[in-house]
Structure formats: structure tokens, C-alpha cells
Structure 1
Amino acid sequence: MICAAGLLLAGFLMQGVLPAALYDWPERWVLPLQEAATDWLTYILRRSDIGGRPLIAWTREFSAYVNIPLEFLQSLLTKGWLIPGATAAETLRIPSLSWLSVTGVAVFLTYGASGRGLAILTAATLAYFAVFGLWEDAMLTVASVAFIVVVGFAIGLALGTLIWRHPRLETVFSPIFDVMQTLPIFSYLVPVVLLVGFGPLSAVIVTLVFSLPPMARATVLALRQVPPEIRELGDMTGASQGQYILKMLIPSAKTGLMIGLNQLIMTTLAMVILASMIGAGGLGGEVLQSLQILRFGRGLESGLAITLLAIVLYRYGSALAHRRPRHDATSTLGRDLAIVGALIALPSLAGLLWPVAQRYPEALTITSEPLWSGAIDFVNLHSGEKLEALRVFLSLNLLIPLRGAIMGMGWASVALALCLVGWAASGPRLAIASAAVIAIIAATGYWERAVITVHLVLVGVLLGIAIGVPFGIWSALSRRAKSVIDVAVDLIQTLPSLVYLVPIVMLLGPGDVSAVLAIAAYVVGAVIRYCDHALRSAPDSLIEAVRSTGATEAQVFRIVRLPFAVPGLLLGLNQAIMLGISMVVVTALVGTRGLEQETITALARVDPGRGLVAGAMVCLIAITIDRLLAAVARKASTVPAAPTH
């Protein structure tokens, strides 16, 4: 590490002495990957023929069939059906499910899974949708999430089972899954829209790309944790491979599979805002529109709606994952189906007589937008000059100097420094790969933009650490503080990413400083949680033994807690940086100028190659950082023995 730091310092000090090509890749040597990627994608999408028809014709036809169940769910929950007749009077309109029916069924299901607490939370969440005028948007989101979850669960289960049966495939799928989760969504929006058209189905496909890997990986892990006795039982009963997998293996792995399903739901909800850019609509569309016209109140209401929906679905999924079957209990399936049928039919019939039972009256909706707008105006009026001074200070004294320092080191010294770190942490393979990534970024002409992206993430994560670590320590050392901090962290981690941008942009305006503060706000929850978990990893017996020697709490923290926490803290740093990279992609919407802006520009200009190459550079940066920090964490996992005297 010291050698790598010295190499970076030497590169910075030797500016003007070393060849300029080691600092800024010569333009005449830049690889034309963007043009090549655009030409290749254009050929694949528009000119390639399959059975005498272009690829787009096949994908559009296929998407029309796939869109049928999605449209059915949307019609069932919010749109209803319109059956045209010869005249307007003969046109038949079949309404969607009553808002009371949806509420009743949801409350009944959550009560059966987890009891009264979750049922009350579910009722309050659905009431929030109705009272704040978000019912239709919320139901569109629920329909999309339901469709994605069913499709994603089926594909993820199949892929995970395939990898479990053939372990060598993991070496193939693991990097593919890494790319799927780190490639910015904006970089592949254009190809997806060209293939299946603008609309909800495009949003579903884009969301699946990001949400599928957690389900597949959870499936592999769950199947590997099934006791070998289950395999022996399958052999004893003479079960075929299919019978063993479907009737014995998968039921035995239910808990792990439900955890994967839970992660699938959470990652899907995390994408609803970005997916709204290509026609998903729903709550994500409300948040995106609020950012575009700076309506913080409406954006916050919609963001909280997504958060509440995420909490309800997360707790419902967790309850199902940890619920144990009762073999001595009589089946209640018939009774449950009858209750669900009644909850659907009775409000729907009542809605024919009383419209209030079918749709929540618009006249009874409320909004908190004037309150939040007034608060923003008040802050701008009384603290506008201080906020502007903060923006200028951070820009002139932190962001610009850091960006200049990294640019001054040059791509070559950064590549060599990462090579040394990779060699020390893991060996020659990681060393060569890390250096190659920097060289590729420079060779594609994206070095300066990559530096802009990295320095925004670095400053945002450091600010998040500065804010989050004290709270993480406090949470680890105090049970009372933990109970309060956990609630705040749950809220922070489930708020959609764009919700952080709206108030910051309204207070500080667009630009790099707003992006950095949004990144800090987005990662602080993960910093608190990982810090808390890491500091609790030391054995209680060892802590008590050190205390018995008369050590103070500060000494216990330094001698025992901190050494045991190092691997967990490094893992937390890794996750914070990954979250920062995912957030910096979103900050392109407020005027940052790094690689993330390239993906937005490519989307606006319908230049798929440019977007994919820029997105691939972001992906390479994220994977490289992940591999380096993971290797360092593994090397630090050997905890030094605590003194016994």
C-alpha cells in the first residue's frame, strides 16, 4: 500500500517530466469502440434477418404476447376493461377491483402470514395511497412488480438450479451476473426500446436485467445448503432427478429461496423510478416528474409510497420465509379462498350502487406539497447565502482540487498503483486485471470522465462515512440507540434514489455538489448498518474477559472490537462504494459530467453504442473496486489474538 501511494505521489510530482501520453491518452491512439459498438448494434437490431424477417420484427411480435399478462394485471388493479360496441351506448366497461377489495385481500394475506402488526401496517399503507391520491399509480407499480417477480422467480430458480447441478457454469454466470448488476441502466435502455418498443414491457425487461442475479445466486446458495440426507432419501425412495428436485430439494430449500424472492422484490422496487423513463409509469413516474419540475412535496409523497410498499412486501416475504409448516393443523385453504372471494365480490357489488366503494373519492384526497414547498422557500430565504457559500466551499476546496490531483497523477501511475495493490492483496491475476481496466478506460478516451465519476463517488462516500460511522458506533454500543437508529436506517435505505436529489437540487441547484451530497445521503444508511454489525462481531466472552482485567470501554473498543471489526468494515466500505456508483449514475439527471452523463447523452441521441461503452466503463470500475476491496478484506480476516493480561 505504501509503495502504491508513493507511486501515485511520484506520478503527480513528475508532471511535465514524464511523457504526456502517460497522463492523457493521445487522441490519435483512442480506440473507436463507440462507433464500432453502434454499428454492430445497428446491424444486429435493424439489418440482421432471422427467417427472412429482421430481428426487431420477431422481438416486437414476441413482446406483444408477453405483454398480455402484464396488461391483464394492470386492468385488474387499476384500468379496468373497455369492450367496444357498435355505439357508445353499447360499449361495455368492466371496472377494476375495488380499492376496498384490494385493501381487504392484502390485509387478510398479511395477517395470515405475520399477524396483527403487519396487517395494520398494510392497511395504513393502502390508506396512504388512497388519501394522497396515489392509488392508481401505486396499483400500476404493484402490477409491474407482481409480473416481474413471477417471471424473475421462475427464471432465477431455473438458472440457479442449472448452476447447482453443473457447478462449472458458475464461472461463466458469475461475471455475467456482476455485469448485470453494475451496468448502468441508461446504457442499455436504447437497445431494449428498439427491440420491444417504448412502454411498460421495456421497463419490465430493464428491471429484470438488474433484479434477476440476486434470485439466481440465492437459489444456488439455498440448494447447496440442503442437508445431504435429503439426497440420500431421494435415492432410497427411487425418485427420478426431476422428482427429487421438484418434490424434495426445492421444498427443503424453501427458506433460502424465499430470501432470494425477497431480494428480487426489493431490487425491483429500487428500479421503478429509472424504469419509468421508458414508460413504466406508476409511482416511479410520479417521482421522476417531480424531479423534472422540482415539486419536492409530490416527489416525497410518491417516494414514501414506494418506501411503504417496499417495507410491507419485505416483511411479508420475510414472514413467509421464516414460517414453518404445521403438519398437525387441518387445511384452511377452502376457508381462505372463500374469504378472499367474499372480500373481492362484496365491495365490487357495493361499488355498483355506491361509487365510493369502487374508487376513493378524489374530493377527499389531500397533499402535503404546500407544506414542503413552504419549508424549502423558507430555508432558501433565510439560509440561501449560507447554502451557496457551502456549495462554493465544497466545490473550490474539495471537488476541484481532488479532481485535479487524480488527473495530475496520470492514468499510467494509477494503473501501476492498482497493479501493486492487486498483487499484494491477491496475486498476479487481480494485479493485471486492475491495471488493464485503467488502460482500457484511457484507451477509449474516457479517462477524464472516469476521473470525474470516481471523484464524485469518493467524496460522497467519504462524507457518508464521516456521518455514518459515529452513528454506527453509537448503535453498536447502545441498545436503546440501536432501536431508534434502525428505524431511521430502514427509512433511509428504502427511499428511492431520486427522492434524495429533489430537495438538494432545490436548495443548492444542479451540479457536482448536489450529486456528492445525494451520494452521501444514499450511502449513509449502509455505512451505519455495516459499522454496527462489524463492531458487534467480537465474541461477548472475549469482551467480558478484557473488561474483567479492568480495561475501560475505550480500551475494549480499541483492543477487541476494532480488530474483529476490520473485515466487516472493509465489506461495508465495499458496499458503500457500490451504492455510490449506482447513485452517481442517477446524478447524471442533475448535470454531472462524468461517464454517467455519457449514458444519458447517448439515450437522448439514440446512440446505443456510445451508451453501452460508457456504461461498460462504469461497470469495469465497479467490478475492479469490488474485487480489490474483497481481496483486501479476505487478507484482513485473520484477527490478531487479543491480549490476555
Structure 2
Amino acid sequence: MMTATLPQPPFRLDQKRVAQAILLAALVLVLSRNVLPAYLLRLPESLVLPFADWINAVFDFARDDLGLMAFTRAFSDVVEFCLDVTANLLYGKSRWPQLGPIPWVVIAATAGMAGYALGGLRLAVLAGGTFVWIAVMGQWKWAMETLSVIVVAVPFAVVFGLLMGILAWRYRLAERILNPVLNIAQSLPHFAYMIPVVVFIGVGPKAGAIVTIIFSVPPMIRMSLLGLRAVSPEIIESGKMSGTTRWQLMTRVRLPAARTEILIGVNQVIMQSLAMVVLASFIGMPGLGQKLLQLLQALRIGLSVEIGITIVLLAIVLDRMSKAWAMKQPEHVEGATWVQRHRLLAIWLGLVALGFVMAWLHPYFAEVERKQALSMADPIDFVVGGFIDLIDPVTDWLRWFLITWVLIPLRDAFLWLPTSAVLLALAGIGWRIGGWRSALVCLAFALPIALSGWWDRAMITAYTVFVSVALALLIGVPLGLIGAANETRARRFLLVCDTAQTFPSFIYLIPVVMLFGVNDVAVVAAVMVFATVPIVRYTIEGLRNIPPEIVESAQMSGASRGQLLRHVKVPLAIPTLVVGANQSIMFALFMVIIAAFIGTQDLGQEMQRALSSTDVGKGLVLGFAVAFMGLLADHLLLKWARGKGATLGSR
């Protein structure tokens, strides 16, 4: 009698056991480091690929053989003409066309009226008061040099981003091509954008404007695509039934329906533009960023604080006004006179006329000269000097302790790790979280860094980010738990986070240089502060967004406040907390490159050297190394968060 054989199930590798085996192999390599062959410690020179030479060859071909230089020069000439117009209007730059300068009282009144129209009296006072502050503190020309570039860069970036967003919405292939490009573009550090622009354009305001345009386009593309996708089918169907053409359907139906998302994209463009314009001082962009850079190099804290306040106020004003514009819905007034319909416009015209009259009567209202300007630098220097003298023993000891017992040992430990062990460990972690596909993704991001020859610099960057994010988690999570305790406190904490996220990253260097000087401790402190903000925000948001019925059920089961937090709220908020940690790592990578200005020997320092020597290949290789580190962390954390969220959802 024959027995039927059951079909054998297909052979499958146990994901957990494979990951454990890979991680065990990595641990063996670490423990046997002293007997490993040299090629397992660091890749030999023969395996280092000349990525920089390849990139330089491509750029040389594009510049010399494809005639790209002619196109870039033509575009830069258009940008330069626009800059001449705005510079003449805002601060009277002595080039054609001679149109300005507009008196500062007129610009302050215009900002105040725009603030009132968009957000009421408080925004009007904030906007108008900011420009009054800039004028009376003698910073008008520097601020207008910065704004003249923003006024030119933002429209270019918005139009280009909107067109690319429409293209991605219209054609699936375009979206598939753009998505990885945008992921890398939004992970590249600021300096990586500057080097190619310097090669093709040179240095100065037009180079600053063009690099600002390039840097600020990606969020506009994403928000335009998101807005067009969010338009409801009913609205589209209604437009088609009205007999609209394809052009009319886009311009009069789809784009107006996506207005909020598109204007949020404009807000992001404005904030990205301000951040880049401040940093573009490294390529000869005059304005507030250049002045702040000079003052920080000279350790003139009082004047640095004054410039820092101005940059922060401008950031807050631009952020609040663009957000108010995004949220404000169009208003229609029927059956009213012209003056009633345009009351604010009439008031503004009156204020403009009054401003010009005041400037004609007294030159102070046209331009505040440096000798007439107010200054808080001396009192700030006195207070800061006294404060530093008071806490100097503590900061000296803390600096010595952190450098001697924490930072240097950790840095040496990161550099001590064999390259092969790190690659295996990343593959094992990826396999454990997302299987073999994630393992390959991790290797695809990490292996090019090893092959580039910049592994040691990348490990110093990784060590700085690791220490900074660990400290940010230790500070940010408790702050988020405190902030989420009640609704009023949560709103206040989120307001602080919103405000802090508008600050250009340069601002965070001022207090740490003031306290610790120029060294690794200052770098870690600046990166930590910058990276703490998203952790606080996402901790509060994660705890606030837990369904109330789950909380009520736990409370009815007799759970105490501590048990409710430990066993219900925090576990359910873990996916959101992980997103916050991911954002913190991305913030830290951005900041650690900028903070190389005040110390460390990481990728950022080499990137600044590449910028000074206009080495496109080296700069982009370093930039891609930073981007790949960020994308690797992003992949692992978000993959784990999605898995954790699915597990929690299935319970």
C-alpha cells in the first residue's frame, strides 16, 4: 500500500537567525581585530574608486563640450539683472537701473500692512517692528542685501518647482525619476550645492541667488505634487461638466483647489532660501550671513548676537506671513465701493506717501547711518563676559571632562572599528529589520562611502552625530513628556519648536562658541540643540495623537498615570517617536557639516576645503557620503517604525 507524499514547503531563511549570524560574524571581526589582515581593517588603496575624478570629468565635459557654460552664463545674467533691480530698490546699489533706494519707513510700513492683511494686528506689529529694528540698529544694508536675493530666488524656485510638480503629477515616469533625486537632494548638505555653482557661475550675489534657487526647489516640487493629488474627483468632474479645456482645468480648477498645499510649499521655499542665503556667505554672498561669519571668526559676541537677533526676526516674520497667506482663504465683497473693497490698499498707499514725505523732510527716515544707529553690543559683551567669568570654572571642567573622557574615547572607538565589521553589522541590522532587501539597501548606501576613500572622516561624522543625537534624546524625550502632559503646555512647547525650526542653523553656533569656544564640545553642543527640536515635537505629537478611547479604557482598568504612560502611551507612540529620531539624525547631519566651521575633522571640514578649492568632484563625493548616511538611517528607522506600527495595529 503506497502512501502519498506531502509536498514539502519551500525553503525559507529565518530572518531573525540570518541576522543574528551576520551580527555574530561582525562581532567576531571586532574581537579579532588585532589579527585581521589589513584589507579587512580598511579597504586597500587599490580598491578605492576615483569617484571625484569621474565627477570632474563629467563636469568638464558638460562645461566644455556640451556648451553648458553658455546656458549657465545666460541664466546667471538674467538673475544678475533681477538682483540689480531689487538691490537698487532695497538699498540703492549703484548699478543700472537707478530706481532706489526705497526709504526704510516705507518698507517697514509695507511689511506692517502686509502683516495686518494676512494675520491681524499682532503680525502687523511683528512684521513692521522687525524692519524698524533693522533700521535703527544700523543693519539696513546688510539685511536688504540678504532680502534682495530672497526676493529674486523665491519666484524662480516657486515657478520651477510648480512646473516640475505638475510634470511629476502628470507623468508617472517623471515621478519615478524625480523621487530618488529629491530624496538625495534633500539629504545633501548645503555646501554640496555651492561647489558646482562656483565652478559654473563664480562667486558673489548671483552665485548665492542661483545656489539658493537650486536648494529650495525640492520642497516646492513635493508640495505641488501632493496638492494636485489631493484635489477631490468631484471638483474635477464639476470643472469638466462646465466645459473647461485642459489648460482651463489646470489653471482654474486644479491649481486653485490645491492652493493651500502649494502655498505651504512657498513657505518652505522661503525658509530654505533664507537658510541658504545666510550660508552663501562662504561663496561671497554679502549680507547678514557674511557679517555674522566675520563676527564669529573674530569672537565679537555682542555684535554677533545683534545680527543673530535680526536673522531670527526675519525668519519668524517670513515664516508667519507665508503660513498666514497659505491658511487665509480668498474673500469676496459684493456691492461695495472701491474704497470699501480695497480699504487696506488705500491705507497702505497713504502710509507710503507719508513715508516718502518723512524721508524727504529728514534723511534719518530714508537711511539710518552707522553713527546714528543704536547698539546693544557693549552691554551684551559686558553681561556675557561677566556670565562667562562666573561659569568659566564649570565650562572649563565640563569641556575637559567631555573631551578627555567621552568624546576622544568615543571617536577613537569609532575609528578603531574594522570597515568589514561595520559593513557586516549594517547588513545584519538591515536583514533583521527588513530582510535581505533592506540588507542590500544598507550596503548600497555604506559601501560607496568605503570605496570613496573617506571612511575615517565619515566615521568621525558618525561619532559626532551619534553623541549629539543620544544627548538630544536624553533631553528631548523628557521635555516632550512634560509638554504632552496637558493641552495648554503642549501648544506652548510646539510654538517654541515652530519658532526654533525657523532659525537658520548658523544661529545655533553663537551661544556654543560663547560658552565653549572653538572645539569639539562646541560642535556637539550646537548639533545637540539643533537636533533636540524635532524630538520634542514628535514626542508631543505622538503622545497627543493616541486615540482617546484607548486611554479611557486603560484608565477604567485602574491604570495609574505612570502605568498609563509606560504601558499604553509610549508603546503606541513609538512609531512617531522613531520618526522624530529619524528627523533628529537628519538635522544633526546638516548641522555637523556647518559646525565644522568651529571644529572637528569630519566630512564637513573636507567639504569646506573642497569649496575653497572649487573641487566639484571631491565636494560632491563628500556630499553624497553625508546624504547616504542620512538615507541609510532614514531607511532603517522608518522601516522599523512601519513594522512596529503594523504590529501594534494588529493587536
The alignment's TM-score, normalised by the length of structure 2, stands at 0.91
Instruction: Choose 158-167 or 429-438, whichever is displaced more.
Output: 429-438
**Structure 1 unaligned regions, length at least 5:** 85-92
Q: Match of 2:284, as an amino acid?
A: G
Q: 1:153 aligns with which of 148, 158, 183?
A: 158
What's the CA shift for 1:588? 1.6
Matches of residues 237-256 of structure 1 in structure 2 within 5 Å? 237-256=242-261
CA distance in 1, matches of 2:251, 2:488: 45
CA distance in 2, matches of 1:419, 1:495: 37
Instruction: Choose 369-378 or 296-305, whichever is displaced more.
Output: 369-378
What's the CA shift for 1:642? 11
- Report the counterpart of residue 121 of structure 1 in structure 2: 126
CA distance in 2, matches of 1:443, 1:325: 55
- Report the counterpart of residue 515 of structure 1 in structure 2: 523
Decide whether aligned partners of structure 1 residues 308 and 347 sit closer, same or farther in structure 2, where only a CA change above 3 A counts. Answer: same
- Report the counterpart of residue 88 of structure 1 in structure 2: none
- Report the counterpart of residue 48 of structure 1 in structure 2: 65
What's the CA shift for 1:412? 1.6
Q: 2:229 aligns with which of 213, 224, 236?
A: 224
Decide whether aligned partners of structure 1 residues 641 and 246 sit closer, same or farther in structure 2, where only a CA change above 3 A counts. Answer: closer
Matches of residues 324-363 of structure 1 in structure 2 within 5 Å? 324-329=329-334, 330=336, 335-360=343-368, 362-363=370-371
8 Å Cα contact 1:537-1:564 kept in structure 2: no
List per-residue Cα deviations over 1:184-235 (Å, max 9, x = no partner): 2223423212212211121112122221111110111111110001221232
Q: Match of 1:458, as an amino acid?
A: F
**Structure 2 unaligned regions, length at least 5:** 1-15
Q: 1:110 aligns with which of 106, 109, 115?
A: 115
State the SS of the aligned residue for 2:646. Answer: coil
Q: Match of 1:567, as an amino acid?
A: P
- Report the counterpart of residue 420 of structure 1 in structure 2: 428
- Report the counterpart of residue 493 of structure 1 in structure 2: 501
List per-residue Cα deviations over 1:365-424 (Å, max 9, x = no partner): 222222332334334434334323222221232222223333333222222222222233
CA distance in 2, matches of 1:117, 1:503: 29
CA distance in 2, matches of 1:75, 1:162: 36
What's the CA shift for 1:363? 4.5
- Report the counterpart of residue 4 of structure 2 in structure 1: none
Instruction: Choose 616-625 or 74-83, whichever is displaced more.
Output: 74-83
Q: 1:20 aligns with which of 23, 38, 44?
A: 38
8 Å Cα contact 1:560-1:642 kept in structure 2: no
- Report the counterpart of residue 68 of structure 1 in structure 2: 81
2:392 is aligned with 1:374: no
Instruction: Choose 176-185 or 243-252, whichever is displaced more.
Output: 176-185
Decide whether aligned partners of structure 1 residues 532 and 49 sit closer, same or farther in structure 2, where only a CA change above 3 A counts. Answer: closer
2:55 is aligned with 1:37: yes
8 Å Cα contact 1:537-1:561 kept in structure 2: no
Instruction: Choose 526-535 or 20-29, whichever is displaced more.
Output: 20-29
List per-residue Cα deviations over 1:441-485 (Å, max 9, x = no partner): 112211111100110011011111111111110000134433543
List per-residue Cα deviations over 1:300-329 (Å, max 9, x = no partner): 222221221222222222222222233454
CA distance in 2, matches of 1:7, 1:310: 50
Q: Match of 2:266, as an amino acid?
A: L
What's the CA shift for 1:561? 0.7
- Report the counterpart of residue 437 of structure 1 in structure 2: 445
- Report the counterpart of residue 527 of structure 1 in structure 2: 535
State the SS of the aligned residue for 2:374. Answer: coil
CA distance in 2, matches of 1:418, 1:608: 29
2:286 is aligned with 1:281: yes
Q: Match of 2:65, as an amino acid?
A: S
2:329 is aligned with 1:311: no
Q: Match of 1:64, as an amino acid?
A: D
CA distance in 1, matches of 2:96, 2:148: 21
Instruction: Choose 627-636 or 496-505, whichever is displaced more.
Output: 496-505
Decide whether aligned partners of structure 1 residues 356 and 481 sit closer, same or farther in structure 2, where only a CA change above 3 A counts. Answer: same
Matches of residues 525-564 of structure 1 in structure 2 within 5 Å? 525-564=533-572
Instruction: Choose 524-533 or 139-148, whichever is displaced more.
Output: 139-148
- Report the counterpart of residue 6 of structure 2 in structure 1: none
8 Å Cα contact 1:99-1:357 kept in structure 2: yes
What's the CA shift for 1:83? 7.0
CA distance in 2, matches of 1:210, 1:262: 14
The alignment's TM-score, normalised by the length of structure 1, stands at 0.92
Q: Match of 1:44, as an amino acid?
A: A
8 Å Cα contact 1:60-1:197 kept in structure 2: no
CA distance in 1, matches of 2:629, 2:312: 29
8 Å Cα contact 2:23-2:428 kept in structure 1: no
Instruction: Choose 488-497 or 112-121, whichever is displaced more.
Output: 488-497
CA distance in 2, matches of 1:515, 1:168: 42
Q: Match of 1:24, as an amino acid?
A: R
CA distance in 2, matches of 1:37, 1:537: 46
State the SS of the aligned residue for 2:263. Answer: helix
Decide whether aligned partners of structure 1 residues 236 and 488 sit closer, same or farther in structure 2, where only a CA change above 3 A counts. Answer: closer
What's the CA shift for 1:283? 1.8
- Report the counterpart of residue 7 of structure 2 in structure 1: none
CA distance in 2, matches of 1:424, 1:5: 10
8 Å Cα contact 2:193-2:215 kept in structure 1: no
Q: 1:99 aligns with which of 98, 104, 123?
A: 104
2:307 is aligned with 1:302: yes
8 Å Cα contact 1:185-1:206 kept in structure 2: no
Q: Match of 1:535, as an amino acid?
A: L
- Report the counterpart of residue 258 of structure 1 in structure 2: 263
Matches of residues 366-405 of structure 1 in structure 2 within 5 Å? 366-405=374-413
8 Å Cα contact 1:567-1:634 kept in structure 2: yes
8 Å Cα contact 1:37-1:609 kept in structure 2: yes
What's the CA shift for 1:553? 0.5
Q: 2:631 aligns with which of 597, 617, 623?
A: 623
What's the CA shift for 1:516? 0.8
Q: Match of 1:310, as an amino acid?
A: A
- Report the counterpart of residue 407 of structure 1 in structure 2: 415
CA distance in 2, matches of 1:95, 1:37: 44
CA distance in 2, matches of 1:282, 1:77: 12
8 Å Cα contact 1:199-1:279 kept in structure 2: yes
What's the CA shift for 1:160? 0.6
State the SS of the aligned residue for 1:248. Answer: helix
Instruction: Choose 578-587 or 559-568, whichever is displaced more.
Output: 559-568
What's the CA shift for 1:496? 2.5
Decide whether aligned partners of structure 1 residues 218 and 95 sit closer, same or farther in structure 2, where only a CA change above 3 A counts. Answer: closer
State the SS of the aligned residue for 2:186. Answer: helix
- Report the counterpart of residue 579 of structure 2 in structure 1: 571
State the SS of the aligned residue for 2:558. Answer: coil
Q: Match of 2:230, as an amino acid?
A: Q
- Report the counterpart of residue 642 of structure 2 in structure 1: 634
Instruction: Choose 241-250 or 409-418, whichever is displaced more.
Output: 409-418
Instruction: Choose 205-214 or 480-489, whichever is displaced more.
Output: 480-489
